[in-house]
Amino acid sequence: MFKLRKEEDFPEKWDPLCLVWSETLLSSIDLTGQKVCFADFKHPCYKIAYFQDLSSRVGFQEARQACESDGGALLSLESETEQKLIESMLQNLTKPDTGISDGDFWIGLWRNGEGQTSGACPNLYKWSDGSSSQYRNWYTDEPSCGSEACVVMYHQPTANPGLGGPYLYQWNDDRCNMKHNFICKYEPESFPTIPAGKPFDASKPEDPYHIVVTETGIIPNLIYVVIPTIPLLLLILVAFGTCCFQMLHKSKGRTKASPNQSTLWISKSNKKESIMEI
């Protein structure tokens, strides 16, 4: 049974549950606080931290620290493909039955002024995880710079389009102490987990959205330990059986010898008795 993450548990402790995602599962699974990975275990994993309670949302540095303490980093985006992937994940948050709506998300793009020279403002932004990606998805007339040095991904589904079109999923620089949700990014899983439910569809090897639900924990790890020891266990059982057979065989031999000794003792006694009678 999978234990789904509750938002009130953030950010003190995060669930180790790993969800591997497909579009068919998005409608039935709450991705908030879950770790989301690709089925081929070669691509990054993600975790969405959404807080419906506005007072629980955090500033940029708090979000960055939360991701790093969980073994990841605040989201960096390498390409439009990855941007679309994140958008697909966030679309599930706005489904009518989730109760989740507006709330921007911190990503790892910012400018801290260290080692930077004067230049065009957009060129001063760097990824906090050290990524060299030059991909950007700024909203029209962004970044505005000034005191706004940290970047959010717009998530305002109820907002009307602005002069530059819909705000949804576009980027905007904001003051770093503003309170928002955030998204963490992780290195690919170091080992595959055992899938449960619908298996990976080999007919769609290039489909990044076709993923299955998996669970990590002690039991899958034990399987990798126990299986290699089976031949050794069989060898021990064979040796034990052979020893038991040999001991049983020797025991039967001793049992046969006992009556002969008893017969000899009786015959000797008979001889003595016969002599005394004479």
63 Cα distance to chain centroid: 20
Class of domain 7-216: alpha beta
- Of 2-6, 93-97, 118-122, the poorest mean pLDDT is in 2-6
Of the pLDDT bands very low, low, confident and very high (cuts 50, 70, 90), residue 253 is low
The whole-chain average pLDDT of the chain stands at 72
For the stretch 50-100, pLDDT in tens is 988 899 999 999 999 999 999 999 999 999 999 999 999 888 766 666 666
Select from 60, 86, 54, 90 the least CA-distant residue to 73.
Answer: 60
Q: What is the pTM of this model?
A: 0.58
Q: For the chain, which residues make up each domain, given as ranges?
A: 7-216, 227-277
Give the largest CA-CA distance in the chain: 140
pLDDT reading at 13 higher than 80: no
The dihedral of CA 267, 269, 275, 276: what is its sign? negative
The pLDDT value given to residue 63 = 96
Cα-based torsion angle of the residue sequence 69, 80, 209, 187 in order, rounded to the nearest 10 degrees: -30
For the stretch 162-217, pLDDT in tens is 765 677 899 999 999 999 999 999 998 754 444 444 443 434 444 443 333 334 44
